[in-house]
Homo-oligomer: A and B are copies of this chain.
Amino acid sequence: MKTDVHDKNNYTLLCDFYEFAMSNGFFKSGFKDKIVVFDMFFRSVPDDGSYAISAGLEQVIEYLENLKFDESDIDFLRSKGIFDEAYLDYLRNFKFECDVWAVPEGTVVFPHEPLLTVRGPIIQAQILETMVLLTINHQSMIATKANRIVSAAKGRPVIEFGSRRAQGYSGANLGARAAYIGGCKGTANTLAEKIFGIPALGTMAHSWVQLFETEYEAFKTYAEIYPDNCLLLVDTYDTLKEGVPNAIKVFNEVVVPKGFRPKGIRIDSGDIAYLSKKARKMLDEAGFEDVQIMASNSLDEFTIQNVLIQGAKLDSFGVGERLITSKSSPVFGGVYKLTAFEDEKTKELVPTIKISENVTKITNPGFKEIYRLYDNVSGKALADVITLHDEKIDDSQDYEIFHPIYTWKRRNIYNFTAKPLLVQIYEKGKLIYDMPTLEEIRQHAKEELDTLWEEVKRLDNPQEYMVDLSYDLWKIKDDLLERHGKNYKRR
């Protein structure tokens, strides 16, 4: 029997084969100890949004802590017939030696900002590519999508209901984690509570109702067993003619006499705007004004926004496939690019660039830092500036930012506080980061979002948030482009 997990927590070989081909090549061609810098960044926000929420760092660390090649891995690689024995020996005794910086999970991030930076020997830094991307791409996408949905729900709880439609097991489990970071209140996935402590919720499916002679009997039996958590699924046969009246009957006959208040009803099909308004009226008239209505049929931020505009009377949402797969935008296109290497003689970092016909695909060279500039009066984030790593932004005086492509677009920032976003996670292969709890990460995301203007957070056609380059970084980039004869200012 084969499995998708060959060794607990060890995804060392979940690595594009070319990374090993190159790493062996670097080894054989004398580049073994060449120090390089790689950035992980993304180029555009899913769903044409303006912001993303970074997530997945904890699992990147978990991967790095378990990075090792056992004998079966070595044997397998040898069987490919292209690797040097000395390189395989190197892998056998692999010891992670890189420095790593990253933005903490739950941080609001923008295109072109390095979410994670690796500095170390190229043979090591190269083989992290797939797992760093896979991990951060996936969770950042789901955290971002979840936040859009939570935002559309305007304070009403959103529960992640998507495991059955997730793209694989880690899609479900880590998707639940990322959704929680993005603001979901809970999950349907029991394992996600056991592993991560995310509240797992759920009461009944249609099968419960179908198994009994009548819907009334099904509701009654459920209420007798769970009088204190009685949330009934009312759409198995006919929501308004059968489901809601049967629920009210059972609330009156079983739940209330047992001394409890019913929790609610759930509508999983049909026109939920219409049905919820009618159901609300029926519940209110029966004296159940406090009983909540949950909706759970193919929802996302767009449908939630629409049904609320139409006056739907809904108290919470169970959101499944469109959240757990980020259905309307199911790829978070993060990339991992070489941005600098150390000159062997001078030991200085030489910035490098990847040119592209497409201007937005040109990389930002060099070893970098991100500063976020907060307005001292409102506390709101005004702009981000990507700088060289050892550059400082002096927030005791005004600072002029400018657009990195349309350089005539300039703005003076004053009375602000500049905060660097990258935190060092590894120093020479040693973990030096004090990992926050999932609750702390979720809280951090919430606080981060509070610093964004509403215009930036808007679901449709949001205001673009400024992410500019410092003059020094821009100059390096411009010089590199000149050198390659592609000065994009003139294109």
Give the interface of A toward B (CB within 8 A).
Answer: 1-6, 8-9, 11, 13-22, 24-26, 28-29, 31, 34, 36, 38, 58-59, 61-62, 65, 72-73, 76-77, 80, 82, 122, 126, 129-130, 133-134, 137-138, 141-142, 161, 163-175, 177, 188-191, 193-196, 200-208, 210-211, 221-222, 224-226, 229, 236-238, 269-270, 321-322, 325-327, 330-334, 336-338, 341, 352-358, 361, 435, 438, 484
Q: Are B164 and A16 in contact (CB under 8 A)?
A: yes
Pairwise interchain contact A34-B194, C-beta atoms closer than 8 A: no
Identify the closest chain B residue to A77 (Cβ).
B190
Partner of A190, one of B16, B164, B210, B357: B16
Pairwise interchain contact A237-B331, C-beta atoms closer than 8 A: no
Indicate if the CB atoms of B325 and A167 lie closer than 8 Å: yes
Set B38, B163, B237, B361: member contacting A16, Cβ < 8 A: B163
Choose among A17, A62, A355, A435 the residue with the greatest number of B CB atoms under 10 Å from its CB: A17
Ordered by A's residue number, 24 sampled pairs between the chains whose C-beta atoms are within 8 Å are A2-B58, A3-B195, A4-B59, A4-B170, A4-B174, A5-B173, A6-B191, A13-B190, A14-B173, A15-B191, A16-B164, A18-B204, A21-B202, A22-B205, A25-B208, A25-B221, A29-B224, A38-B207, A126-B207, A138-B171, A167-B325, A167-B330, A168-B168, A168-B171
Taking a contact as CB atoms under 8 Å apart, the answer to whether A138 and B166 are in contact is yes
Name which residue of chain B comes closest to A322, CB basis.
Answer: B331
* A194 neighbours in B (Cβ, 8 Å): 6, 13, 72-73, 76
Across the interface, do B169 and A11 meet the contact criterion of CB distance under 8 Å? yes
**How close is A207's CB to chain B, nearest CB, in angstroms?**
4
The CA of A82 and the CA of B222, in the complex, are separated in Å by 12
A270: chain B residues at CB < 8 Å are: 357
Q: Within the complex, what minimum Cβ distance (angstroms) separates A146 from chain B?
A: 14
CB pair A14 B163 closer than 8 Å: yes
A4 lies within 8 A of B221 (CB): no
Q: Give every chain B residue within 8 A of A18 (Cβ-Cβ).
A: 188, 202-205
A321–B210 CA distance with the chains assembled, in angstroms: 40
Q: Tell me the complex Cα distance, A72–B356, Å.
A: 53
Is B195 a contact of A2 with CB atoms below 8 Å?
A: yes
Given A4-B177, A72-B194, A269-B356, 17 more A-B residue pairs with CB atoms under 8 Å apart are A1-B65, A8-B8, A15-B189, A18-B205, A25-B204, A25-B208, A34-B211, A38-B207, A129-B164, A130-B164, A164-B336, A167-B171, A167-B325, A168-B174, A269-B357, A325-B325, A325-B331
User: Given the complex of chains A and B, what is the CA–CA distance between A245 and B208 in angstroms?
Assistant: 68
Is A330's CB under 8 angstroms from B333's CB? Answer: no
Q: Is the CB of A337 within 8 A of B226?
A: no
Residue among A24, A126, A133, A211 with the highest chain B CB neighbour number at 10 A: A211
Contact A164 B137 (CB under 8 A): yes
Bound-state CA distance A82–B58 (Å) is 32
